[in-house]
Amino acid sequence: MKTFYKKFSEKFIEGLLMLSGTITSLTVVLIVFFLFKEGLGVFDKKPVEEGYVIALSKSNPLKTLSSEQIKNIYDQKITHWSEIGGKPDSIILFRAEDISNFYSDEEIGENFEGLSTCINRLVDSLPDIIAFFPKKYLAKDFKGHELTVDKVSLKEFFGGKEWFPTAQPSAQLGVLPLILGTLWVSLGAILLALPLGLAAAIFMSEIAKDNVRRIMKPLIELLAGIPSVVYGFFGLVIIVPLIQKTFNLPVGETGLAGSIILGIMALPTIITISEDAMRNTPRAMKEASLALGASKWQTIYKVVIPYSISGISAGAILGIGRAIGETMAVLMVTGNAAVIPHSILEPVRTIPATIAAELGEAPNGGLHYQALFALGCILFLITLFINLAVEFISNRKQHNKH
Amino acid sequence: MYNIESKNVDFFYGASQALKNINIAIKPNTVTALIGPSGCGKSTYLRLFNRMNDLIDNTKISGQVLIDGEDIYAKGVNVDSLRKKVGMVFQKPNPFPKTIFENVAYGLRVNGITDKKFIEERVETTIKQVVLWDEVKDKLKKSAFELSGGQQQRLCIARALAIQPSVVLMDEPTSALDPISTAKVEELIYELKTKYTIVIVTHNMQQAGRVSDTTAFFYMGELIEHDTTKTIFTNPKIERTQNYITGRFG
């Protein structure tokens, strides 16, 4: 009877442990599945808002337009049909709310009951018109033709240079500025953090006396525990005005501010991981170098650093990983302009900041919403790649040491 | 004329005394074996000769250690050039994470030699000196970790010899090696004697008997007896030495 209980409780605990493992893995899989299901949906959508149509006069030979062309037409960057392969006449823009410029209130009707007839007549009478209006005002005997708009393409999504997900009549979903913004800020961060972090790690593992190290190490680890919104606050109040003043800029919220904050945030990761790697250098190896008449510094850069290079790289890559995924601090200090940055002193917008800032105002299930999920997918793939790189490097390290 | 002399050497780790009043004189081109049970201070003593104990915090030395008549613990002594003169081979093979060639060239490079041809020649002669050339001449550009333990240890000896020291310290150089590799290293020690003064710490009695000219027996931080190896092993003057040699304790 006793052995039965023992066996039973062991089996029970085993089952419990297995269940925990399964639940965790399942959760991760579910999150990824959800992310990609929503994110990939964006490529099945048209950039024109649902329930709206864009129509041309029957005499206009154009059948389709890309979302970029539509935007340029409405921004009056394209003013003649000939620029997009049509007639040489200038384009007449029309939105539903412009109707009162053409027809009297009586004709439109108090509750817009005459609106569809009005639009119909207008499109019929102006051969160079492009009209954007709600689908419910599309007359049954419509005299123009509806313009077909291409679905969001991969090329447009990844190559597009403009991010205006709420633009009317056609949303612009170019993520290039966001990806570049993210990489730009992260690159800046790592360029600042790596030399500083490496120097601190060398100091702590090789030079500092034990009691100094005992004070410094917890201090640096404390840096990792500060909430990111506090970093953001610090950046906004101290670093942003400082940059504005130093470089004499109209605004201080720039990629550089983001890089500095992210650099500070990446420091503890870089320092602790590379310091651990350096401290793992066998004492005998350092002694062998010193015994050959090498100075302390020669020993550090000729033996300690080469020996721990894989740990140092892992620290640097994990630091970048932290920088790429960071949201709040970056959102607060980078200025969030979704344009391709040309210098580090311009405002930039990163992927996580975009998601955090816009998800609240994106209607559930809509184009914008799905585009944000697609951004999430991109971010996920970047960090996945980074983690795989770290894995690869640490495996190589073990191989190296026998 | 003695190559190495120590006069009234006391050594402390913090408050505990590791060496008590050690007096030894070592002639050039001899092999001296330091033997004794674990913790007797023989390794500590060996590491005094190239000031390796400086790396340990909280240590203190008194008395004199002379190498070629110069007090190496005097003020103003350049430790880096002392270590160039006094090479060291460690207990476990500890090649650098570099190529075989670069391991041997390391000592030359850190001492400021940049002449490529000179380095190549020196590396080749030194590897030949440790009888490793035929085994590694085709893979000089490969990582030193690809060699076997015995080969690695001979490489480490070559690394120490490349900067042409006058004294070579060996801290249990064969304790991590198989018998065949051990025999090769011992043979090497015997040959190296013609050019260098060698001090070797070993816990292997037979090894001390085979390779050394004089043997010093340490016990509890004291030098019990130092004499020719033959005398120590056949006719020691002190009973404790005899007990240790014959395996009655230790």
Q: At what angle do helices A283-291 and B149-161 cross, to 10 degrees?
A: 30
Identify the closest residue of chain B to A291 by CA–CA distance: B83
Nearest C-alpha neighbor of B162 from the set B91, B105, B92: B105
A151 touches A113 (CB < 8 A): no
| Closest-CA residue of chain B to A399 | B145
Inform me whether the pLDDT recorded for B15 exceeds 80: yes
| Euclidean distance between CA atoms B151 and B186, whole angstroms | 13
CA atoms within a 13 Å half-sphere pointing along the CA-CB vector of A51: 3
Residues A241 and A373 in one domain: yes
pLDDT of residue A30: 96
Assigned domain for A315 exists? yes
Q: Tell me which residue range forms the domain holding A184.
A: 176-400
> Are residues A62 and A82 located together in one domain of the fold?
yes
Pairing state between β B16-26 and A64-65: unpaired
| Nearest Cα residue to A147 out of A84, A200, A100, A210 | A84
Contacting residues of A for B83, CB less than 8 Å apart: 290-293
pLDDT along chain A (402 residues), means of 10: 84 94 96 92 85 85 83 85 82 84 82 84 86 85 82 86 85 90 91 94 91 92 90 94 92 91 93 93 91 92 90 90 88 88 88 92 88 93 90 70 46
The whole-chain average pLDDT of chain B stands at 91
CB pairs under 8 A between A and B: 73
Who contacts B119 (Cβ-Cβ below 8 Å, separation ≥6)? B105, B108, B109, B113
Tell me, yes or no, whether A282 and A144 share the same domain: no
Please, what is the angle between helix B179-192 and helix B149-161, to 10°?
A: 20
One-letter identity of residue B120? E
Inter-chain residue contact B80 with A293, CB threshold 8 Å: yes
Cβ of A301 under 8 Å from any chain B Cβ? no
Cis peptide before B95 (omega within 30 of 0): no
Give me the phi and psi of B103, to 5 degrees please: -60, -45
Confidence at residue A402, expressed as pLDDT on a 0 to 100 scale: 43
Average pLDDT over residues B37-51: 92
Q: Are B48 and B171 in contact (CB under 8 A)?
A: no
| Residue A338, token pair as written in the block | 């979704």
Whether A348 maps to a domain, the answer reads yes
Based on the fold, state whether residues A102 and A248 are members of the same structural domain: no
* Cα R_g (chain A), whole angstroms: 30
Give residues 172 to 231 of A whose Cβ lies within 8 Å of B: 209-210
Count of helix runs (H) and strand runs (E) in chain A? 17, 8
**Two tokens, residue A332:** 């607060």
Candidate from B84, B87, B90 with C-beta closest to A287? B90
Is the same domain home to A263 and A357? yes
Q: What is the DSSP string of A156-204?
A: HHHH---EETT-SSB-EE--HHHHHHHHHHHHHHHHHHHHHHHHHHHII
Question: Closest Cα to residue A122, out of A167, A205, A178, A56?
Answer: A56
Q: Can you state the angle between helices B116-129 and B100-110, rounded to 10 degrees?
A: 120
Domain contains A194? yes
| A310 part of contact set with chain B, CB < 8 Å | no
**CB spacing of A400 vs B110 below 8 angstroms:** no
Residues A245 and A279 sit within 8 Å (Cβ to Cβ):
no
Kindly determine whether residue B90 and residue A400, on different chains, have CB atoms separated by under 8 Å: no
Tokens linked to A233: 């606050």
Looking at the fold, whether A223 and A258 belong to one and the same domain comes out as yes
Tell me, yes or no, whether A102 and A15 share the same domain.
Answer: no
**What part of A 132-171 touches B (C-beta under 8 Å)?**
none
DSSP of A79-110, one letter per residue?
A: -BGGGGTS-SSBPEEEEGGGGGGTS-HHHH-T
Q: Does one domain contain both A72 and A185?
A: no
| CA–CA gap between residue B246 and residue B241 (Å, rounded) | 8
- Which residues have CB under 8 Å from A165's CB, separation 6+? A171, A172, A173, A358, A362, A367, A368, A371, A372
Task: Kindly determine whether residue A287 and residue B107, on different chains, have CB atoms separated by under 8 Å.
Answer: no
**Which stretch of A188-197, A393-402, B73-82, B145-154 has the lowest confidence by average pLDDT?**
A393-402
Neighboring chain A residues of B96 at a CB cutoff of 8 Å: 285, 288-289, 302-303, 306-307
Same domain, A191 and A298: yes
CATH number at residue A206: 1.10.3720.10
For an interface test with A, the pick among B90, B142, B161, B164 (most A C-beta atoms closer than 10 Å) comes out as: B90
**How many Å apart are CA A137 and CA A96, to the nearest integer?**
9
**pLDDT 10s digits, B194-237:** 999 999 999 888 899 999 999 999 999 999 999 999 999 998 89
**Contacts with A290 from chain B: Cβ below 8 Å:** 52, 55, 83
Cross-strand bridge partners of residue B16: B13
Contact B83 A290 (CB under 8 A): yes
Q: For residue B96, give the nearest of A285, A295, A400 by CB distance.
A: A285
Residues of B with CB under 8 A from a CB of A: 50, 52, 55, 57, 80-81, 83-84, 87-88, 90-92, 94, 96-98, 106-107, 109-111, 143, 145, 156, 159-160, 163
Report the alpha-carbon distance of residue B65 to residue B72 in Å, rounded. 6
On whether residue A159 sits in a domain, the answer given is: no
Give the Cα separation of B54 and A114 in Å (integer): 98
Q: Do B106 and A402 touch (CB under 8 A)?
A: no
CA A148 to chain centre: 30
The yes-or-no verdict on residue B71 having pLDDT over 50 is yes
In a domain, A283, yes or no: yes
Interface test with A, best of B83, B146, B169 (most A CBs within 10 A): B83
- Whether A284 sits inside 8 A of B87 (CB atoms) is no
- What's chain A's length in residues? 402
Please give the Cα distance from B123 to B129 (Å, whole number): 10
B106 vs A contacts (CB less than 8 Å): 289, 292, 294, 302
CATH of the domain at A110: 3.40.190.10
Q: What percent of chain B has pLDDT over 90?
A: 71
Q: Are residues A336 and A217 in the same domain?
A: yes
CB contact under 8 A, B88 and A307: no
Classify residue B64 as exposed, middle or buried by CB count within 10 Å of its CB (0-12, 13-18, 19+): middle
CB-nearest to A293 from B98, B107, B145 is B107
Q: Do A401 and B90 touch (CB under 8 A)?
A: no
Q: Which of A230, A258, A269 is nearest to A336 (CA)?
A: A258
Convert A10-40 to b/e letters by CB count within 10 Å (16 or more is b): eeeeeeeeeeeeeeeeeeeeeeeeebbebbe
Sequence-distant (6+) residues with CB within 8 A of A306 are B96, B97, B98
Q: What is the pTM of this model?
A: 0.80
Dihedral (CA of B52, B58, B64, B70) sign: positive
Distance of CA B76 to the CA centre of its chain: 24
Q: B151: distance to nearest CA of chain A, Å?
A: 15
CB neighbourhood size of B118 (10 A): 11
Q: Which among A128, A129, A390 is positioned nearest to A277, based on CA atoms?
A: A390
Q: What does the alpha-carbon distance between residue B187 and residue A337 come to, in Å, rounded to a whole number?
A: 75
* Domain match, A29 and A58 both: no
**Which of chain A's residues have a Cβ under 8 Å away from the Cβ of B94?**
282, 284-285, 287-288
Best to test chain A binding among B82, B86, B94 (most A CBs inside 10 Å): B94
Nearest to A315 by CA among A227, A188, A181, A196: A196
The answer to whether residue A292 neighbours chain B at the CB level (below 8 Å) is: yes
ipTM: 0.89
- Does the residue A171 lie in any domain? no
Q: How many domains does chain A have?
A: 3
Q: Across the interface, do B55 and A287 touch by the CB < 8 Å criterion?
A: yes
Closest CA to B86 of B77, B98, B76: B77
Q: What is the per-residue pLDDT for B245?
A: 86
* A338-370 residue pLDDT tens: 888 888 888 999 999 999 999 998 888 888 999
Q: Domain map of chain B by residue range?
A: 4-245
- Are A37 and A71 members of one domain? no
Give the closest of A210, A284, A294 to B94, CB-based. Answer: A284
Q: What is the pLDDT of residue A398?
A: 53
Task: Tally Cβ neighbours within 10 Å of residue A62.
Answer: 15
Query: In the numeric block, which tokens belong to residue A128?
Result: 């160079």
CA distance B240 to chain A (A): 33
Residues 6+ apart with CB under 8 A from B214: B26, B30, B31, B32, B33, B226, B227, B228, B229, B232
Secondary-structure class of domain B4-245 per CATH: alpha beta
